[in-house]
Structure 1
Amino acid sequence: MYLGLDLGTSGLKAVLIDEAQHVIAEASAPLAVSRPAEGWAEQSPADWIGAAESVLGQLAARGLGAVKGIGLSGQMHGAVLLSASDDVLRPCILWNDTRAHREAAELDADPRFRAISGNIVFPGFTAPKLVWVARHEPAVFARVARVLLPKDYLRLWLTGEAVADMSDAAGTSWLDTGARDWSDDLLAATGMTRAQMPRLVEGAAVSGHLRPELADRFGLPRGVPVAGGGGDNAASGVGVGVVHAGQAFVSLGTSGVLFAANDGYRPDAASAVHTFCHALPGRWHQMGVILAATDALNWFARLARADAAALTGALGPLLPPGKTRFLPYLGGERTPLNDAAIRGAFIGLDHATDRAAATRAVLEGVAFALRDCRDALAATGTRIDSLLAVGGGARSDYWLGAIATALGTPVVVPVAGDFGAAFGAARLGLMAATGAGVEVVTPPATARMIEPDRALSAAFDAGHARHRAAQAAIRGLT
């Protein structure tokens, strides 16, 4: 058996797979986000350890004695600041925290960052957070001996090793993404050194071994190897078999991601497209990222005092976009806007706008934001030959129909099962334990395909044009 752990924003998920890569057990534990100020988002790393103890305890009840490898995945970009004795110095500043937007703009103005990292320095990335800490919490910054990404703090607890994988490290603004190594120049530009960085490994390589006391506590074999793992999206790419050029997936989780695999390093930072290392050696990937996908739907569900699934389930067949529009920028946006200040809006409200119309507007707004990402990816020369749908939002056929029609691309829905980041992490654990190569990373079987509604293509094109006009108007107000 092989164990995958995925440290998400809203919870930690674990899956067990067998030798045939079938999921045989899973467990989860919830996590909460603290928002102490506007634009801030933090979590306590101690809560991650508590969640890990919970899921391991749940799985221990069915037996973990046959586990041969462990893989890790997790939310990217978070800054876990540790002292020389590995004490946590402050709550982790998360990926969707935009407090460091000024610092990010300053770093991005230094041409070395785009040239070496291959990406814009976004406010949610790790490096500008450390500059923010240096300016606003200098006593904390003075004690920083080590910076880890969220999943790598779990690794430290599991193995005692301070290690990061290439895909997660690529989202820090400190990695030479083409060379797959830390950049001493970029580190120095933020007051950091290589000594404060974790050791780097590829996602399918062994990063360390499970500590004996944890093995004994949860009934795991001693010495189980822990793979390098991957950032959540790269691990999801491994989970759904998106590892070759032309393959892509759309993820409808807390954030929204349009992820395309590449067999070479072809960055275009100016497009606000993310170009990161993949979780497998010799591969990279590009992403268009929006900060609120199901997060936007869940926000509206709370406002409407309704269940999100009930809202989407009551919509019926796909309709043309209406007058009511929604911009899903609840906490800024990445691709293609790179705008931490922009905020969401409902536009075109009238007496006929009911709960169903507003729900459709939210789903369409996310679909149009993903189309913006598709256009940005296409401008870099990245092609999308096939598109799979993953994430909680992929349960809504209405939403997938809107995305397929907005992008003009069929969307493949995999057979029932979990093929996301936790599954991808388990696959990486298998590869680390057995030495298996990319041949084990296959896509799941197709349950059905959501075709674009060609009769509505023109209406969705017009809706996207209205979305872009509203986007421009809102940017003028923020």
Structure 2
Amino acid sequence: MYLLGIDVGTSSIKVAVVDVNTQKSVVAVQFPEDEAEIKSVQSGWAEQAPMDWWHNVQQAILKVNSLNLFDPKEIKAIGIAYQMHGLVVVDKNQEVLRDSIIWCDSRAVELGEQAFDAIGHEQSLASLLNSPGNFTASKLAWVKNNEPAIYEKIDKVMLPGDFIAMKLTGEITTSISALSEGVFWDFKKDEISADVMNYYGFAADLIPQVQPLFSSHGHLKEGVAKLLGLTAGTPVAYKSGDQPNNALSLNVLKPGEVAATAGTSGVIYGVSDELTYDQQSRVNTFAHVTYSAEHKHTGVLLCINGTGSMYRWAKHTFAPYLSYPELNLIAAQAPIGSKGLRVFPFGNGAERMLNNKFTGAQLTGIDLNTHGQAEIFRAVQESIAFAFRYGLDIMRENGMNPKVIRAGKANLFLSEVFAQTFVDVTGVPVELYENDGSVGAALGAGIGAGIFKNTEDAFTQHKVLNYLEPKNTQAYEPIYQDWKEILIRQLNG
């Protein structure tokens, strides 16, 4: 018996097939092999075409089936993880009306700030646990204000994972967790926020049917099943934003447990049993996958837009023909502190932890006689770790004090330089696991379909691969403080 997990990422679609008995991936693929395009027709804008996601999902499933490592007819449930906060709008015929305004798009910042003022800061934070900010609701308001002809045709508003589930099943649903990440959810009243809907003038029927996160979100249509070699009627039994899903895949489900990821964006995500919020909305609180009326588990999320995207830029600019493993080896040749070279990885849209400011990415202190590839690549990795520390200190201000952080041995955590720097700079040990968003989505589907008895039953085979402890904290502290001082001057300039 198998489970299918789909991860709708910014860079590509990942698909994994998981054996229920071993809870391990039998096979996993991604499509396309190259990183998917982000359309940016203006500075600070970022869009992708939902139909491209759908095409890539189909190609990924066909690709994984073609390897003949399992019987596709034995897939019993499908789960979906997806890039958070994106806006997808469709008409009554389920036709896409415009490209998706994705998570790192900054165009709605001002609208969110106006809503924050109008609703009231304390009311927003106490009920929404966030400022409306640059989230999905504010993106929808931008469409309403700037593209009224499109807005008038909207039948339903969705997040990226909801769209893929719709294409698979023909049904449109959402969940409390999804609504909270769009800042549509009132945590005090446990209902869709009247404050947000009324302020922006949204009709209630734009919101899809609300379903429990672990439940049926529709069944695979016959035509789609035939096209993909799957069984008609297979349930889509789980949908989650990528960061709550990453936490699930790391078995971070209980209050006090903390996960991290360093992919296109960088995230620290801690589970709480309190309706907590940051007064400046620099870190954000959403409903976790285990949120319920009885157990109000929330996820406190620090997001840094420009982590893997910063490293990708450095690779393409300074060493386009080298692989990431080769870059990591080169970075290890430079000393701690990269001989004074400082990098600020904030070039991928407005950063919430910097109060929604867009500073742009910067390299400073370049010495043309001293700095080469090794210093550049190490400085980029160090700067990303510094950005994590800066954000973690904000989380600490809000009562999140992790004793250990769990992360998947993937993306930047594959680099020994980055992984150890992260541990040294934050001062927090890291447990590395074999994990993947698509595997987490598959396990989530098993929970939602009742194949696993509960969340604990889905992680009986969960094992630590590596445990990293701080080694160079004293060496890094003055370097981090120097980096932070430069950043503060930039923010106040």
Instruction: Give TM class, smaller chain.
Output: over 0.9
1:54 is aligned to 59
Give the Cα–Cα distance (whole angstroms) in 1 for the partners of residues 288 and 190 of structure 2.
10
Q: By how many angstroms is 1:45 displaced?
A: 0.9
Establish whether residue 311 from structure 1 lines up as the match of residue 311 from structure 2.
no
- 1:448 aligns with one of 440, 452, 466: 466
Contact 1:325/1:348 (8 A) holds in 2: yes
Give the Cα–Cα distance (whole angstroms) in 2 for the partners of residues 54 and 347 of structure 1.
43
Matches within 5 A, 1:73-152: 73-109=81-117, 110-111=119-120, 112-123=123-134, 125-152=135-162
> Secondary structure of 2:181's partner?
coil
Contact 2:44/2:350 (8 A) holds in 1: no
Q: By how many angstroms is 1:228 displaced?
A: 3.3
Give the Cα–Cα distance (whole angstroms) in 1 for the partners of residues 458 and 115 of structure 2.
37
Deviates most, 41-50 or 459-468: 459-468
Residue 97 of structure 1 aligns with an amino acid whose one-letter code is: D
Matches within 5 A, 1:203-242: 203-242=213-252
Deviates most, 331-340 or 28-37: 331-340
Q: By how many angstroms is 1:441 displaced?
A: 4.2
- 2:27 aligns with one of 25, 31, 40: 25
Residue 68 of structure 1 aligns with an amino acid whose one-letter code is: K
Contact 1:181/1:200 (8 A) holds in 2: no
Contact 2:162/2:239 (8 A) holds in 1: no
- 1:36 aligns with one of 35, 41, 62: 41
Residue 24 of structure 1 aligns with an amino acid whose one-letter code is: V
Matches within 5 A, 1:277-296: 277-281=287-291, 282=295, 283-296=297-310
* Count of aligned positions: 471
Q: By how many angstroms is 1:318 displaced?
A: 7.9
Give the Cα–Cα distance (whole angstroms) in 1 for the partners of residues 91 and 397 of structure 2.
43
Give the Cα–Cα distance (whole angstroms) in 2 for the partners of residues 292 and 337 of structure 1.
12
> Secondary structure of 2:449's partner?
helix
Residue 104 of structure 1 aligns with an amino acid whose one-letter code is: G
Q: By how many angstroms is 1:179 displaced?
A: 5.0
Give the Cα–Cα distance (whole angstroms) in 1 for the partners of residues 263 and 63 of structure 2.
24
Residue 443 of structure 2 aligns with an amino acid whose one-letter code is: R
Q: By how many angstroms is 1:413 displaced?
A: 1.8
Give the Cα–Cα distance (whole angstroms) in 2 for the partners of residues 47 and 326 of structure 1.
33
Deviates most, 424-433 or 173-182: 173-182
Residues 63-113 of structure 1: per-residue CA shift (max 9 Å, x gap): 310111111110011111112222211111010011112112212223243
- 2:356 aligns with one of 332, 335, 339: 339
Identity of aligned residues (%): 25
Residue 55 of structure 2 aligns with an amino acid whose one-letter code is: G
Matches within 5 A, 1:251-330: 251-281=261-291, 282=295, 283-306=297-320, 307=322, 308-316=324-332, 319-321=335-337, 322-330=339-347
Give the Cα–Cα distance (whole angstroms) in 1 for the partners of residues 385 and 224 of structure 2.
44
Give the Cα–Cα distance (whole angstroms) in 2 for the partners of residues 33 and 230 of structure 1.
22
Residues 297-338 of structure 1: per-residue CA shift (max 9 Å, x gap): 111111103433322222337843241111111034434212
- 2:455 aligns with one of 438, 441, 462: 438
Give the Cα–Cα distance (whole angstroms) in 1 for the partners of residues 462 and 383 of structure 2.
29
1:458 is aligned to 474
Establish whether residue 411 from structure 1 lines up as the match of residue 457 from structure 2.
no
Residues 182-234 of structure 1: per-residue CA shift (max 9 Å, x gap): 21221121121221011222321222111122222223222111123210011
Establish whether residue 372 from structure 1 lines up as the match of residue 429 from structure 2.
no
Residues 322-356 of structure 1: per-residue CA shift (max 9 Å, x gap): 41111111034434212243212111112312221
CA pair 34-271 structure 1, distance change in 2 beyond 3 A: closer
Q: Output the aligned Cα RMSD.
A: 1.9
Contact 1:290/1:333 (8 A) holds in 2: no
Residue 116 of structure 1 aligns with an amino acid whose one-letter code is: S
Residue 359 of structure 2 aligns with an amino acid whose one-letter code is: I
Matches within 5 A, 1:462-477: 462-477=478-493
Matches within 5 A, 1:3-18: 3-18=4-19
CA pair 101-461 structure 1, distance change in 2 beyond 3 A: same
Q: By how many angstroms is 1:420 displaced?
A: 2.3
Contact 1:103/1:132 (8 A) holds in 2: yes
Give the Cα–Cα distance (whole angstroms) in 2 for the partners of residues 117 and 273 of structure 1.
13
Q: By how many angstroms is 1:145 displaced?
A: 1.9
Q: By how many angstroms is 1:430 displaced?
A: 0.3
Deviates most, 170-179 or 316-325: 316-325
Contact 1:272/1:337 (8 A) holds in 2: yes
Give the Cα–Cα distance (whole angstroms) in 2 for the partners of residues 179 and 154 of structure 1.
30
2:191 is aligned to 181
Contact 1:71/1:426 (8 A) holds in 2: yes
Contact 2:85/2:182 (8 A) holds in 1: yes
The gaps in structure 1 that reach 5 residues or longer are none
Q: By how many angstroms is 1:178 displaced?
A: 5.1
